[in-house]
Amino acid sequence: MPAVIQVENLSFRYAEAKKYALKDLNFSVEQNEFLCIIGANGSGKSTLCNALMGLIPSYFSGKMKGKVTIMGETTSETTIGNLSKKIGLVFQNPFNQLSYTTSTVEEELAYGLCNMGVPRDEMARRVKEIAKIIRVEKLLKKNPLELSGGQVQRVAIGSALIMKPSVLVLDECTTQLDPLGSEEVFDIVKDLNKDGVTVVMADHDMERVARCADRVLVMSDGEIIALDTPRAVFENEELSKHGVDMPDYIRFGIALREEKLYEGLSPLTETEAIIIGKELVSL
Amino acid sequence: MSEKSKQAAKSKSKKTSSYVPIDSPIDRLHPMIKIYAIFCLGIGCAVFPFLWLAYSVVVFLFFVAWKAKMLTKFAGFITAFAIPITVMLLFIQGLYSPKNVTILADFGFAKLGLEGVLYTFKTVGTLLVFLGSFYLMTTTTYPGKLVTAMQDAGLNPKAGYLVLASLNVVPQIQRRIAVIQEAQTARGVEVTGKLKTRFTAFLPIIGPTVMSSLIDVQERGMTLEIRGFGAKGVKPSSLTELNVSPAEKAIKRVLVTFLILCIAFAFSWAIFTRVR
């Protein structure tokens, strides 16, 4: 699988900050991979997302070392406008994603396409297509500001997706949603990943990360602490030292092993936990 | 906070522009025709030497407002603007204009002059034409349509954004204030009632409103960039389709003719008065 994102020796220090927010990061993301970034608050997740989108160094001033390459294009050598055709970013606060120059959801979705000069017919077709994916067909004529948090979040994802990016970066985009709205958004992201979009998602919900990610990147104090499969990452009990919670199912597996009731791998999902539970009951 | 004021705050918090979506012939009119109207009527009244024209146009604007189903709001806007500005200008120009020759009243400390009074009413009339027509344009024109029309007419997309952002700025500040007021109400702060109570509640909002507006500017800039705004070598397109009907073309011709006639009359009148 070719790498769509290549991060090499990336360090970044915000202007006037003493400490580096990112410290010598090296990793790559393969095409169609679902990579989750986890870490405590202030560990550098959002800074990394901004660096992937090219907002660092284009938008945030500071000292940057190393480079980020998105599908062969170095972010520091191109414009964000050019990058937006390849990579889409969804902010933590969905209201920050809105242009505030449109009065309906369909216009909001089409905003990026208008900027790219996409013909009207093609634009209307893509709006319809994306509205179906993000499940806002019935909201197209509504004012974006009349929507619920979950609906705005879907519009925010749609506004990034409509540009047909190959990579979607989501910066803790479900933190402001209730569990139901959060799951709705996550389902959409999972579907997109199945359809071939590479996903990089910063998230706090460890159960969800364990369930969906192909790989998990753990950050602490601007450094990469671990980068591996969810099972390998979450089985590491040292993780809590870096402010990262272990998923409950993993805890369950570890507890069973400690009680010498079970010897296999810890469950990652509810289904796996149920299977183990059934096995234990039948013994 | 009463139910009514809560609803008002809620509706304010969701509005993004001054536009009031009411279906009417004025609402359906091509935005560029409305812009032509502002300039042709405004400049025409400004150059025309007599004040009756401006007030005739203001009366005509009331008719337009009635057709746009905005009569009450328009009347409120005109009154709110006309009274204070007239009083202020009457005081400055009416009493202290150096052009005052014909004295209408002597107050002892100052004399009210006819020339100053006429100048005041001419200025107020022209301002009412400009502001009234602009008010009708912003309240009856969907912002997206306006910018599409302006960009179709050759406006730079960045200037187009500036127009939209400017149209949206006041409602957005109102929205933010409404949100902060809701938060204050939830914490038991009284934000309605006597003027003093309202003022006391409003004062602490100014800081957070200004600060959050500044933060917004930074975030908005980032959003626009990642959404392709200002992409080089691209002519922006629009989801909205706009066509100028034959009737709209006729209105445009009438407006331009009005302006030309006003300028021609003003020019002739200036020569006539000089010769006389």
pLDDT at B122 over 90: yes
**A184 vs A47: which has the higher pLDDT:** A47
Q: Do B67 and B41 lie in a common domain? A: yes
Q: For chain B, say whether A101 makes contact (Cβ under 8 Å).
A: yes
Chain A to chain B Cβ contacts (< 8 Å): 110
Judged by CB atoms closer than 8 Å, whether chains meet at A89 and B232 is answered as no
- Phi/psi for A213 (5° steps) reads -75, 145
pLDDT of residue A10: 96
Q: Do A55 and B13 touch (CB under 8 A)?
A: no
B187 & B160 share domain: yes
Residue B1 confidence (pLDDT) above 50 = no
Given a contact cutoff of 8 angstroms between Cβ atoms, the answer to whether A99 and B224 are in contact is yes
pLDDT tens-digit readout, B160-172: 777 777 766 676 7
B251 and B121, same structural domain?
A: yes
ipTM: 0.75
In the Cβ-directed half-sphere of B188, how many Cα atoms lie within 13 Å? 0
Are B135 and B264 in a shared domain? yes
Closest CA of chain B from A80, distance in Å: 6
For the ranges B54-68, B80-94, B227-241, the lowest mean pLDDT is seen at B227-241
According to the per-residue pLDDT averaged within each range, which of A116-120, B198-202, B247-251 is highest? B247-251
Indicate the pLDDT class of residue B11, thresholds 50, 70 and 90: very low
User: Does residue B274 carry a pLDDT above 70?
Assistant: yes
The span from the CA of A75 to the CA of A82, in Å, is: 9
Which two three-digit tokens encode residue B155? 């406006």
Which pair of structure tokens corresponds to residue B89?
């200008």
Looking at the structure, do residues B253 and B137 belong to the same domain, yes or no?
yes
Same domain, B81 and B183: no
Which pLDDT value is given to residue A176? 66
pLDDT mean over B123-148: 91
Q: Which residue has the tokens 């905003």?
A: A111
3-state secondary structure A24-89: EEEEEEECCCEEEEEECCCCCHHHHHHHHHCHHHHCCCEEEEEEEEECCEEHHHCCHHHHCCCEEE
Q: Is residue B1 part of a domain?
A: no
Residue B7 lies in a domain: no
- Which of B40 and B275 is assigned the larger pLDDT? B40
- Where residue A171 falls (left for φ over 0; alpha for ψ -120 to 50; beta otherwise) is beta
pLDDT at B10: 47
Between A36 and A252, where is the model more confident? A36
pLDDT of residue B13: 44
Q: Which chain A residues are closer than 8 Å to B225 by Cβ?
A: 55, 58-59, 80-81, 84
Give pLDDT, residue A182.
80
Instruction: Please say if the pLDDT value at position B191 is more than 80.
Output: no
Mean pLDDT, rounded, for A227-255: 85
Residues B59 and B128 in one domain: yes
For residue B161, the tally of other CB atoms under 10 A from its CB is 20
Q: Within a domain: residue B236?
A: no
Identify the pLDDT of residue B17. Answer: 63
Q: Tokens 């996903």 belong to which residue?
A: A199
Cis peptide before A247 (omega within 30 of 0): no
Backbone torsions φ then ψ of B188, nearest 5 degrees: 90, 10
Q: Which residue has the tokens 């009457």?
A: B90
User: Sorting pLDDT into bands at 50, 70 and 90, what band is A1?
Assistant: low
Residue A22 main-chain phi, psi, to 5 deg: -130, 135
Is residue B67 located within the same domain as residue B174? no
Any idea which of A108-112, B4-8, B199-203, B223-227 has the lowest mean pLDDT? B4-8
Q: Is residue B234 part of a domain?
A: no
CB atoms within 10 A of CB A1: 10
Contact A120 B238 (CB under 8 A): yes
Instruction: Look at chain B and report how many structural domains it folds into.
Output: 2
Range of the domain at B207: 156-226
Q: Is residue B79 part of a domain?
A: yes
H helical segments located in chain A: 45-53, 55-58, 80-83, 105-115, 120-133, 149-161, 179-194, 206-212, 230-234, 248-258, 270-282
pLDDT for the residue numbered B8: 44
Q: Which residues have CB under 8 Å from B51's CB, separation 6+? A: B118, B121, B122, B125
The answer to whether B49 faces chain A, any CB pair under 8 Å, is: no
pLDDT of residue A283: 66
pLDDT of residue B5: 46
Run of H or E residues at B104? strand B103-106
Q: Are residue B97 and residue B172 in the same domain, yes or no?
A: no
Distance, C-alpha A215 to centroid of its chain: 12
Listed by number, the residues of chain A in 37-96 with a beta carbon closer than 8 Å to a beta carbon of chain B are: 53, 55, 58-59, 79-82, 84-85, 88-89, 91, 96
On whether residue B104 sits in a domain, the answer given is yes
Instruction: For residue B252, give the H/E element and its range.
Output: helix B246-275
Q: Is B230 an 8 Å CB contact of chain A?
A: yes
Based on the domain organization, do B113 and B31 belong to the same domain?
Answer: yes
Strand-strand pairing, A3-14 and A62-70: antiparallel
CA A243, A247, A250, A255 torsion-angle sign: positive
